Chains A and B, each alone.
Chain A
């Protein structure tokens, strides 16, 4: 028997969001929690940290309300935030090239019968070598990319290659590519949200906005409605030609 439960999660969310909004409304000028005279690198770090929960919230929306399945829960969040650092189509292109070449090498490496952890270590080294080659190549053409590339989460890229390969072996190329596209689309959504100047400025001037972000996470945590992809999946079950179930 479904008993009545007080919606504690919703109440906590309400309280958190209410407090945040009250604080912001009371001191509309920044409280200066993030001091404006912070050194540039520290500022970047703080910005990255503050954006992380927002990126996680985007992942929650895509997982639980849209219903896309991705490789790793927060891998798309980190990937999306790193796109922001890379900041140019070149960065995305480099990542796609690294993914493809890494995937080919992963196929070749299967024959060596390596244990899993050393195999992943080899793949990490391969990914590093690929990036190094790109940096040196760009440098020889007189361009510096060092500012952008170090932010690419190498371990996550390596993990993506490994999971893509496993999924391809297990479920076939189609589903594996679909999951990869969903992962990259989620990363793109995170990137788009993280790029909005208003989001970044609000977070930096009022870090207390985090309360609203957590409230959103709590509310999605109690969302029991259908996911968007389920509407399509179960469409047939809603068709009027279906006879009504017996009582």
Chain B
């Protein structure tokens, strides 16, 4: 009886904590702050890359673009010239269809998980990308061969392979919440939370990590590396924040997640997301709606520059 009452009260308690639900996010923030016409700017990684170049924000180099199946005949020379790269669909989502190659081996290329992909494997994958298997709405797509970013050794140390990144949620030009996303063995090199990655809350003021969640549970240590997740400092935090604000302003989106990879020679922007997920709340143990309402009210918790 008591637990039933608890469940019935849950929505009200969540509301009081300012937790943002999916429906409220879609109707209240995405529809309101993000004009549909601006979506291709961030959904299409090629256009996003152009945008970054125009505003002078460092982003990964694109080695080659595959548009038609006929282009596949250049695949081998591309991969021989750049054996350390990321292959991804231009219009993919949540890390789908992304393959990380780390170097050339005898019969193909080494993947991030030490398995070997032959030229045929890669060709089939690129062909699937071109057919739109991994793309929003299943439309035919282009495949990019992109520079693989090297995360700062400080983050590399606490992560498991793949490329960890920092997601900064920017609302109307102000950083609202931030989270470090670390790949795990289970997430297959991807930093996306719903694939089993670790989300670590980051204090926007200081860039220090607070607590971590993985598969919906709070964790103290990384499941694969055993490193303590709290109290780590994201390298170049102020540069990361400035970059996120700059990119958000350039996209024109009022509610946007900017993914940034801190490298040893400064942060680089990986991509932006017009429909950033809600797991960032769990990683920060903080209701997003409440933060957004504070920003609406003119409360800005800006880091001391």
Contacts and interface: CB of A to CB of B under 8 A. Distances in A.
Nearest to A167: B96
Given A230-B22, A238-B17, A245-B18, A115 B281 contact: no
Contacts of B134: 170
A143 interface: no
Interface string A47-64: 000000000000000001
A223 B14 contact: no
Interface string A221-237: 01111110011011111
B131 A64 contact: no
Contacts of A237: 14, 17, 19, 281-282, 285-287
Interface residues of A, number: 27
Contacts of B123: 113
A197 interface: no
A2 B216 CA distance: 31
Contact of A113 (B23, B120, B194): B120
A237 to B, nearest CB: 5
A158 B43 CA distance: 28
A108 interface: no
A235 B132 CA distance: 37
A67 interface: yes
Interface stretch (B5-13, B75-83, B163-171): B5-13
B157 interface: no
Contacts of B96: 170
Contacts of A227: 21-23
A225 B11 contact: yes
B286 A245 contact: yes
Contact of A1 (B21, B131, B296): B296
Max chain A Cβ within 10 angstroms of own Cβ: one of B23, B28, B69:
B23
B133 interface: yes
Interface in B118-177: 120, 123-124, 127-128, 131-134
Contacts of B69: 115
Contact of B195 (A171, A225, A234, A236): A171
Contacts of A242: 17, 285
Given A1-B296, A234-B281, A245 B133 contact: no
Max chain B Cβ within 10 angstroms of own Cβ: one of A171, A225, A231:
A171
Interface residues of B, number: 38
B228 interface: no
B127 A223 contact: no
B218 interface: yes
A230 B17 contact: no
Contacts of A245: 17-18, 286-287, 290
Nearest to B140: A116
Contacts of A166: 133
A223 B21 CA distance: 11
B10 A238 contact: yes
A235 B10 contact: yes
B55 interface: no
B124 A231 contact: no
A222 B23 CA distance: 9
A117 interface: yes
B184 to A, nearest CB: 13
B21 A238 contact: no
Contacts of A231: 7, 10-11, 14
B36 to A, nearest CB: 16
B241 to A, nearest CB: 19
A224 B287 contact: no
Contacts of B18: 245
A225 B297 CA distance: 22
Contacts of B27: 222, 224
Given A224-B27, A231-B7, A238-B14, A115 B19 contact: no
A234 B23 contact: no
Nearest to A237: B19
Given A224-B28, A225-B11, A245-B287, A67 B22 contact: yes
Contacts of A1: 296-297
13 contacts: A116-B132, A170-B97, A170-B134, A171-B195, A225-B21, A225-B24, A231-B10, A233-B282, A236-B282, A237-B19, A237-B285, A238-B10, A238-B13
Interface of B: 7, 10-11, 13-14, 17-19, 21-24, 27-28, 69, 96-97, 120, 123-124, 127-128, 131-134, 194-195, 216, 218, 281-282, 285-287, 290, 296-297
Which 5 residue pairs are nearest across A and B when measured between Cβ atoms? Answer: A116-B131, A238-B13, A226-B21, A224-B24, A224-B23
